[in-house]
Structure 1
């Protein structure tokens, strides 16, 4: 059986190795798309000009 101080050294080395490989994680925020317009609503690009002669 190994002496306790050797076991402790091995445990510390394993913890250090594990900490090196652990990467911090950052959550990426989801981009919420704007609500779709109803087809009933005329879009600004579809507006036109009507000329009425009197």
Structure 2
């Protein structure tokens, strides 16, 4: 979802913060840490909101 979609859902309500984080699979050292894993870029999307 993008910021405009959230604005429509919230219908004018104010939000003090958003809690979230990317899936750990792209960063974990337990398995294959793939630098090209698209899940590694999700943090930037949180920052956009």
When normalised by structure 1's length, the TM-score is: 0.25
Higher helix share: 2
- Bigger Rg over Cα: 1
Q: Which has the higher contact order (CA 8 A, sep 6+)?
A: 2
